[in-house]
Amino acid sequence: MEYVPKLVYDDDCYFCTWSATFAVRRGNIQPVRLSEVQDGESRLRDFEREHLPEDFEECAQLLTEDAVYSCGAATEEALVIAGVLPRRPIEFLRRFTTYNWLREKTYHTLSNNRGIVANVFGRDPPVSDHVPEEDVYPDRASGKRG
């Protein structure tokens, strides 16, 4: 069975819900509500939960088969998986400290102003209200996603 990357997002945030919906609709990514992770009720497996950083509640987390990405890196990798950003140039840019700093600075600027940003880019939580059920629960899907 193919591993489906999981995006842990703040399900109290309209901008976060919009962002997660965007990624889920375009890529093979499963949304996971932060509130459910905090309550211990999410569909994360034990090994996935164990790999989350201590401060996982501070920003978006993307769990892939090979790594855990946090904050700006999580958003960036979700966009790569979704085909919005090209993998090779992004992998090249990740070698540079200034690029990584700028990516994280941009993420945190948007995050710190998400109430304002949500006026333009926002959706009512949760993501499951905006995408097909098989995108939220890929294990229930009868066939592979294309």
Domain spans of the chain?
A: 6-129
Q: Are 17 and 124 in contact (CB under 8 A)?
A: yes
* pLDDT for the residue 145: 43
The tokens describing 98, both together, are 């200034």
User: pLDDT tens across 39-91, in order?
Assistant: 988 889 999 999 999 999 999 999 999 999 999 999 999 999 999 999 999 99
Local structure of 146: helix, strand or coil? coil
Say what the pTM is. 0.89
Cα–Cα dist 50/137, whole Å: 21
